[in-house]
């Protein structure tokens, strides 16, 4: 994962959310960050808890505006494995 967005987390952020597989309702936000990574960064995000045993969707979300444009949010090689 690589991201570069403004540091104001309320207006510019990258997040990973777990959504209900049928309704798309938010179950849990498992990652939220603003600012920038210096380079590609490996992230391991645990999806346990309220997500165990249910059908889910994983949402990768970038929130920003046009006031402080930056390069954005890049992801690569997503792997989902059982615990």
pLDDT of residue 83 exceeding 70, the answer is no
- The pLDDT score that the predictor gives to residue 24 is 94
Q: CA torsion, points 78, 66, 37, 80, in degrees to nearest 10?
A: -10
* pLDDT digits 0-9 by tens, 13-55: 889 999 999 999 999 899 898 888 878 888 888 877 767 788 9
More confidently predicted of 60 and 65: 60
pLDDT for 62 beyond 90: no
The answer to whether residue 73 scores a pLDDT higher than 90 is: no
β pairing state of 26-33 and 2-4: unpaired
DSSP lists the bridge partners of residue 24 as none
């Amino acid at each position: 994962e690589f991201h570069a967005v403004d540091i104001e987390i309320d207006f510019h952020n990258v997040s990973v959310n777990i959504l209900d597989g049928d309704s798309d309702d938010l179950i849990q936000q498992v990652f939220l960050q603003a600012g920038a990574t210096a380079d590609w960064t490996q992230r391991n995000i645990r999806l346990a808890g309220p997500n165990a045993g249910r059908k889910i969707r994983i949402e990768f979300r970038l929130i920003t505006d046009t006031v402080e444009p930056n390069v954005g949010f890049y992801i690569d090689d997503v792997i989902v494995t059982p615990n």
